[in-house]
A = this chain, B = another copy of it.
Amino acid sequence: MSFVAVDWGTSSLRGALIDEAGHVLDERHAPRGILGVPAGGFPAAFDELFGDWMAPADRRCLISGMAGSRQGWIEAPYCPCPADAAALAGRVIPVVPGRIALVPGLMHSHDGVPDVMRGEEVQICGAIQLTGLADGVFVLPGTHNKWVQVQGGRVLGFRTYMTGEFYALLAQHSILSRTVDPAAPLDAEAFAQGVARSARGGGLLHNAFGARTLGLFERMSAAQLASYLSGLLIGEELRAQAMNAHADVVLIGAPALTARYALALEGLNIHPRVLGAEATWAGAHALHSALTGANAHFP
């Protein structure tokens, strides 16, 4: 039985029609993130993009991402770690009973401070399926990057890093915006210099000012400084990890971002596997299978 998988984030909406074997039959996306949906407007926004896919009376849909947040369609309480696909499937929340359900996000605490994700948990389930890895470090770059510890096929815990948002703030709103050109393509050498600078310590609060002075003294161009700043931030994120060179690392995300993380990791002699959108659909398929097998119940 084919089904519809939807990843409804803060700023974008993506969906796929997937057959019983997990093959993607069709894909759609629209710039209709939850921030662009008015109160009460979720059913209409959903119908507009996926109404025809949902026409068959027995067609089901699983939605993940920020659509399950307080500002979303219906709030889906977080699932605690450790958790795997079965645990997530057991906690999906009905939106239209028997037809549309929301996948909960994951929650994990460090020293009493909670950490959360919404949507990435489906990508991780998919990446476990696609790579066959039951143990490893799964990294999901983005505005709020996730570093996820997977053991025995379950998410043990994770940490969020605001690396993508810090980059946008610094490149667009700080004093660095005067000397940094965020539209420039990646300069691998300047990027590596940034990563190396962070690895030597000094701290981000100090090192970021170097992206100002290197411009002031014309040691780097605005294009180079964009890559240098990106390297500083990703280098700072790597420095916070207790990286084990023998651990399997899986990068999941948009190619432009995963390429930067792969570059930085290769500098530590770590050679990650890289996945893209296919991880989301594979994860949704795993959850859907868990909800439609024998003894299973789609809520």
Please report A residues at the B interface, Cβ cutoff 8 Å. Answer: 110-111, 113-116, 144, 159-163, 165-166, 169-170, 173-175, 197, 200-206, 208-210, 213-214, 216-217, 219, 233, 236-237, 239-240
Partner of A161, one of B206, B216, B217: B206
B114 contacts A197, CB within 8 Å? no
How many copies of the chain does the oligomer comprise? 2
Known: A114-B213, A159-B202. 7 other contacts (CB 8 A): A110-B202, A113-B210, A114-B219, A161-B206, A169-B173, A169-B174, A203-B239
| Residue in B closest to A164 when the chains form the complex, CB atoms | B205
Q: How far is the CA of A208 from the CA of B160 in the complex (A)?
A: 9
Q: How far is the CA of A217 from the CA of B110 in the complex (A)?
A: 14
B161 contacts A205, CB within 8 Å? yes
Q: How far is the CA of A13 from the CA of B91 in the complex (A)?
A: 60
30 contacts between A and B (CB under 8 A): A110-B202, A111-B197, A111-B200, A113-B197, A113-B210, A113-B213, A114-B210, A114-B214, A114-B217, A115-B209, A115-B213, A144-B175, A144-B209, A159-B206, A160-B206, A160-B209, A161-B203, A161-B206, A161-B209, A162-B205, A162-B206, A165-B175, A166-B205, A169-B173, A173-B173, A201-B240, A203-B204, A203-B237, A204-B205, A205-B233
Q: Which residues of B contact A206 (CB under 8 A)?
A: 159-162, 240
Q: Which residues of B contact A209 (CB under 8 A)?
A: 115, 144, 160-162
Q: How far is the CA of A84 from the CA of B105 in the complex (A)?
A: 58
| Residue in B closest to A175 when the chains form the complex, CB atoms | B165
| Residue in B closest to A69 when the chains form the complex, CB atoms | B216
Q: Which residues of B contact A208 (CB under 8 A)?
A: 162, 166
